[in-house]
Amino acid sequence: MPGTPYPKEQMHRIVYTKLSEQQIADKLSAVSGPTSASPLADVFAGKSIRIVTDKGPALAYTFREANRLSVAENGAGAVEAGYGALTQGNVAFVSHMIPNTQRGYAVVIDQGTNLATVFELWFSGYEDKREVQREIYYGYVEQPGQEAPKNRHVATNRVEGKGFYWKQDNGAETLEFYPSAAYSHFVELSRLGGELGFCGPSDYIKIDENRYIYTRTECEFSGTFTAYVMDLNRIEQVGVRLGFNANDALEYYVFRGKGEWLGQLAQFEKFGDESGNPVPAAAPGQTPAKGARRVYRPFKTMAKMTPAQVDAVCAKHTSAFAPRAIAPGPNAPAASMAGNLGPNTDWLAGKTFTLRYDHAPAMEYRFDDAEALNWRKEGGNWTKAPYRAYVSSPGVILFGHLLEGEPNHDGHSIVADFDQGLVTCFNGFLNTPYFANEAGVKIHFGVIEMEGLIPPKYRRHVLTDEMVGRAVSQNYAPGLTSMHLYSTPHSLSWIIFTGTDAGGLEWSGPASYVKIRNGLYFMYWLEEACNGTLGTILVNLHTMRDVGIGYNCGENGLNMSAMGAHERRAGQFDVRRFYQVKSDGGAV
Amino acid sequence: MTKDTNSTQSSRRLFLKRGALLAAPLAAAVPAAVIADDGLKARLARLEDEAAIRKVHHAWLRRVNSMKTVNVGVGDAATPLLANFEGTALDQTVRSIAADHAGEPDAIEVAADGTRAVGRFQCAVEIENAIAQDCTLAQMAHAQGGGFVRQTERRVLKVEYRKIGGAWAIARAEFAPV
């Protein structure tokens, strides 16, 4: 029986065990040091070194052999521990835990400069105790009789925009993208089958122009910590992975990997700005606590509603294209994203047509004016609804409306191509399996039946992977700029720019892309385990504008709203080859 | 408002105008030298008041511009001159205030009783508006410490002063369109 690479649940759907401090201690006590698929380096065997950090510990090491050391922290008594070390040129990566504690270290030592970066790692430092915490200390290896070096490894944005395929020595394959200077996005090809990409807060530290240190903590998921040194020329990595997997088993290993360069996205900071850590760990004027960082925790903060609650809230407040003032609150219509929307069109006013979908009921329409339409499922009763329509390209109109009375509170976001007689509908709906207020989506392909318009018999808009790998920035309004990274055929990631136009917080969700014409793509994303929103946009890569329709249900009600952005192409990663999807797709 | 083009002239004119009115009933009974002496004293007092008010104003500007966010409703014991605010008269999205050197000169008018004054200062005001957290992007922008839009606008800062215990203090401050 052949197997598939897909997990029973994707990462954002796994209910990770809330491990107790004692459970974590028990699991750690069974492990002496990291494992490794590659031979460990004995570069330090028989040596003693002392690492001095600027605002952190002094670590006195004696490496007895290739996997045993003793370490004394800040002059305290030495303790024995298992360790693993791997080297990359003159850079050594060392990791160990402190026995009988939930703490450990990952240490990067450049034996050429004697500079060192120390990551102190610990469990049980956050309410989700399995989430690995980290604090970074910069320092050096003390050289007897020599002054301390003045330079240090330094946080940087020099990795921002890069992307790599990595294959570790244990067979794990990933695509890893660094479109932010504070977060990263990764696709687990071998562990999860590469359907979706996920995000985690990250550190980027410059060793020199060729080598950088990267970290990622899988916050909101397993809490696993990954760190590695990467050589951008050789495209090699050495690093560590520490955390508890979905089965609550400890994964603690050092690894060596090789990769492929996938491309480079644009950076939007001012020239000369190579600073790192663009997202401050604490509010202005406040001193961050040890290990503090800004972490986007959408699952923790999202409204989680039952079908009954959804029905009740929709009955109480449902709005489409309402001014924000009508429904203020966290789930109000997204007026912020309408700053660059532009005017809606009245082209549909007075028109009548049927959208005949291949695998969904036909929808008949009568348009009263530029803002009101009447719809019915073929042969049913007419229902009046507010709508908005926007012309993206001559003959191509995006319009959307809610379907009042539907049991799952459906909303349609529709691209009608009157030049081709084709239509694609993203049919949003609620009462989805995980949280009832989380939007789901069905894609309907079909044709337009309208007087004087003969639609094709076989041709349809098609799912495509032509957008996969691209990154496009969107400026929705002054101060509200993001970037989409279309990282897989089934998911995208969004990055929020900081005030200095560095990539900041980042998250991702399932997505799909439909080709309307060359350079014109209709796509959706689902903010699953996030805000539950269905976002749909029609991206015009010629005018570099998008118009879109959002569909969201929260504690404040059901809302449909319009959005629009000015876009910039930010580059493209060469990743389609990893997904084995044909670019011309096919009707679903 | 463009009635004053020079603060010194303005103050002098006002002073002379008020001085003339005050002086008229006294002129018949008091020797001219005494009147002149009193006038000089009054003028000196007024100039001293204006200088003191400017000092208060500059201290206030330094204070405002050193704050992360202007919140003038909060008294500051370390800056006693600022402790007499009457509520939150200023727009709390103001992030910085700078003199608008391309605008009208500063104008300070001291009342005849010498206990009240009004200042008008044309300023370049940096305004910060928070983006409504009505969508995921805006929520994330706020979560990373952003989510604000800044712009600079020309405005007139109108400040009312009171002399309390011999020292000038700000009683009320507000912005008006230029």
The alpha carbon of residue B145 and the mean position of all alpha carbons in its chain are separated, in whole angstroms, by 32
Residues of B in contact with A324 (CB under 8 A): 132, 134
pLDDT score for A331? 46
Report pLDDT digits (tens) over A365-400: 999 999 999 999 998 999 999 999 999 999 999 999
Q: Does A507 contact B at CB distance below 8 Å?
A: yes
Report pLDDT digits (tens) over A307-347: 999 999 999 999 999 875 434 444 444 577 888 888 999 99
Residues of B in contact with A499 (CB under 8 A): 146, 148
A480 with B145: Cβ contact below 8 A: no
Give me Rg for the CA atoms of chain A.
26
> pTM score, two decimals?
0.87
Residue B142 Cα, gap to closest chain A Cα (Å): 10
pLDDT score for A293? 94
Q: Does B135 contact A at CB distance below 8 Å?
A: yes
Report pLDDT digits (tens) over A158-215: 999 999 999 999 999 999 999 999 999 999 999 999 999 999 999 999 999 999 999 9
Q: Which domains does chain A have, with CATH numbers?
A: 21-152 (2.40.128.20), 155-264 (2.40.128.20), 307-578 (no CATH)
Nearest to B132 among A324, A482, A563 (CB): A324
Question: Which of B69, B131, B140, B149 best probes binding to A when mutated, by most A CB atoms within 10 angstroms?
Answer: B140
pLDDT score for B15? 36
- Spatial neighbors of A203 by CB under 8 A, at least 6 apart, are A134, A136, A155, A213, A214, A215, A227, A276, A277
A479 with B140: Cβ contact below 8 A: no
Q: What is the mean pLDDT of chain B?
A: 73
- In chain B, where the domains are located: 7-177
- Choice between B59 and A17, residue whose per-residue pLDDT is larger: A17
What is the band of B60 on the pLDDT scale with cuts at 50, 70, 90?
confident
Whole-angstrom Cα distance, residue A71 to residue A50?
9
Element (H, E) at B35: helix B32-66
What is the band of B11 on the pLDDT scale with cuts at 50, 70, 90?
very low
B134 with A332: Cβ contact below 8 A: yes
pLDDT score for A324? 52
Predicted confidence (pLDDT) at residue B67 exceeds the cutoff of 90: no
Q: What is this model's ipTM?
A: 0.93
Report pLDDT digits (tens) over A278-291: 999 988 888 999 99
Nearest to B144 among A294, A333, A334 (CB): A294
Predicted confidence (pLDDT) at residue A437 exceeds the cutoff of 90: yes
For B7-177, CATH number out of 2.20.28, 3.30.450, 2.30.29, 3.10.450 equals 3.10.450
**What's the rounded mean pLDDT across residues A453-477?**
97
pLDDT score for B27? 43
Report pLDDT digits (tens) over A94-153: 999 999 999 999 999 999 999 999 999 999 999 999 999 999 999 999 999 999 999 999
Burial of A499 (0-12, 13-18, 19+ CB in 10 A): middle
Q: Are strands A173-178 and A183-188 parallel, antiparallel or unpaired?
A: antiparallel
pLDDT score for A485? 98
Whole-angstrom Cα distance, residue B21 to residue A344?
65
Residues of B in contact with A294 (CB under 8 A): 143-145
**What's the rounded mean pLDDT across residues A236-259?**
98
Q: B35-39, B58-62, B70-74: which range is least confident on average? A: B70-74
pLDDT score for A186? 98
pLDDT score for A342? 86
B145 with A337: Cβ contact below 8 A: no
Nearest to B143 among A296, A476, A482 (CB): A296
